[in-house]
Amino acid sequence: MRSTVGPTVTWLHLSDVHFCPEKTGWDAARVLRSLRRDLVEMQDRHGLHPDLIFFTGDLAFGHLPDSAIEGQFEEGMRFLDGVRKSFRPTVKRDRVFIVPGNHDVNRRLVSSMETEWLDRQESTAGAETISLLMRDNQRVWRFIAERLNDYRQCLERHGYRHLLADPARLVYAVRRNISGFQVGIAGFNTAWSCCREKEKGSLWLGRWQLETLRSALEECAFRIALTHHPCNWLRPEEDTVLRREVEQSFEFHLHGHEHLGWADRADRHVRIAAGACYEHSTMEAGYSFVRLEPSHGRGEVLFRRYDATGGGWVARNVHGKAEQDGRWPLKMPWLNPRLQQKVEAFIEAMYRDEELTQEPSFARVSGDAPSPPLVAGHNDPIVIPLSASGDQGSLQVEPKRGRRSRFRKTGTV
Ligand SMILES: [Fe+2]
């Protein structure tokens, strides 16, 4: 792993463990025991001690006649305690953040009447009705929200008070000071309307959630949104609007549910999907660490996967993305406002000089590049050394393809 310079923010992202001792207990125990061994090794080998642990839903498998959901949650909590205690020092419980998933719903408490009513809501008016339902927290909401009673009670029993500021809706906005950075964490509830067999595009979030959590986390250095489902599982009425707003309001969006570790970027936003910690030992299991260096506008995700043939965890390399040690670099100059300001001012000056009309897109930041003079030709990356501004490394900015970029300039920031 690359050595870091300056303060870091590190988190561990786990998801979708689907505990069901009566069904898959022995198999899950094998995979998850080796996961805890891998965490110990990651700390020993790479110094990875998480400041925060995120679990993005599906702790339980779901109530079955021979496996009560209460027992599944108990097993899940034992697992999370084991994860916290794998590190030295132990990660405190108030640094662990969980959101509910569709498997955490007790479907015995869901009636077809509720589902039909939710599915009948349509268009902007329907989305507004759902938002008000959640905001007002009256009888109908409380009736629907009963399906997450077991999840709520489990958090209460195990002392996760910081996740229960709003026990009726099971959402939270919490701040934690990590290495001098005020980090805002928003726990969303995307599971409250779950109960169907196939429900991609059928779930409601409730705009109220987004507005409430977003406004509670203003002034943070950066904000992390935790959801179980990715946005495309929401109703189209919400997906199109809320996806954009999540990208604009949160620098990071972490989710689970799709059982595939992945990272992608929008403007000033990174979305990180988690693999499933456990589904069955024959299916790919995964988890990830993220280490940020906010002052340098960079970071990396380390994806891990369970290797069933060897019975242990290994780096999950992805061709063209994470080719060494499962290390997926993240370039985020916007994490450091001072760095971002300098780059923007520089680009602006360059445009002024060259009478260009379109903005370039920030393509990547390289912390390892030497400090060459800045040279920009037609469609070439622009390399901006930052040593003159007191920052280390350099920025590379790629002009957008197809525009009339005809500038050639040499200089330093
Ligand atoms: Fe799920």
Q: Mapped to the 3 state alphabet, what secondary structure does 192-214 carry? A: CCCCCCCCCCCECCCHHHHHHHH
Distance 168 CA to ligand 1 centre (A): 21
- Measured from the Cβ of residue 403, the count of other Cβ atoms closer than 10 Å reads 13
Closest by CA to 179, choosing from 50, 60, 12, 365, is: 50
Closest by CA to 187, choosing from 231, 153, 223, is: 223
Q: What digits encode the pLDDT tens for the residues 21-53? A: 888 778 888 889 999 999 999 999 999 999 999
Distance 201 CA to ligand 1 centre (A): 14
Q: What digits encode the pLDDT tens for the residues 173-182? A: 999 999 999 9
Predicted local distance difference test score (pLDDT) of residue 297:
86
Residue 346 confidence (pLDDT) above 90 = no
Residue whose entry in the numeric block shows the structure tokens 């996967």: 305
Which has more confidence, 359 or 151? 151
Residue 355 confidence (pLDDT) above 70 = no
Give the chain's largest Cα–Cα span. Answer: 73
Alpha-carbon span 191 to 188, nearest angstrom: 9
CA–CA distance from 370 to each of 62, 296, 374, 384, 386 (Å)? Answer: 53, 15, 11, 10, 10
Can you give the residue ranges of every domain in the chain?
Answer: 9-333, 336-398
Predicted local distance difference test score (pLDDT) of residue 240:
87
Predicted local distance difference test score (pLDDT) of residue 4:
65
Distance 6 CA to ligand 1 centre (A): 37
Predicted local distance difference test score (pLDDT) of residue 403:
42
Q: What is the pTM of this model?
A: 0.84
Contact 266, 274 (CB under 8 A): no
Distance 216 CA to ligand 1 centre (A): 27
Q: What digits encode the pLDDT tens for the residues 99-118? A: 999 999 999 999 999 999 99
Confidence tier at 352 by pLDDT (50, 70, 90):
low
Q: What digits encode the pLDDT tens for the residues 188-211? A: 999 999 999 889 999 999 999 999
Residue 388 confidence (pLDDT) above 70 = no
Distance 107 CA to ligand 1 centre (A): 14
Distance 397 CA to ligand 1 centre (A): 38
Residue type, 7: P
> Could you name the CATH architecture of 9-333?
4-Layer Sandwich (3.60)
Predicted local distance difference test score (pLDDT) of residue 171:
98
- Measured from the Cβ of residue 165, the count of other Cβ atoms closer than 10 Å reads 14
Residue 350 confidence (pLDDT) above 50 = yes
Predicted local distance difference test score (pLDDT) of residue 21:
83
Predicted local distance difference test score (pLDDT) of residue 413:
34
CA angle (375, 376, 381) in 5-degree steps: 105
Distance 267 CA to ligand 1 centre (A): 27
* Mean pLDDT value across residues 274-291: 86
Residue 282 confidence (pLDDT) above 90 = no
Distance 255 CA to ligand 1 centre (A): 10
Alpha carbon 88 to chain centroid, angstroms: 24
CA 29, 32, 37, 38 torsion-angle sign = positive
CA angle (79, 83, 89) in 5-degree steps: 145
Phi, psi of 200 (to 5 degrees): -65, 125
Confidence tier at 408 by pLDDT (50, 70, 90):
very low
Distance 330 CA to ligand 1 centre (A): 26
Contact 406, 354 (CB under 8 A): yes
Residue 395 confidence (pLDDT) above 90 = no
Contact 199, 237 (CB under 8 A): no
CA–CA distance from 304 to each of 39, 260, 310, 317, 330 (Å)? Answer: 10, 11, 14, 8, 17
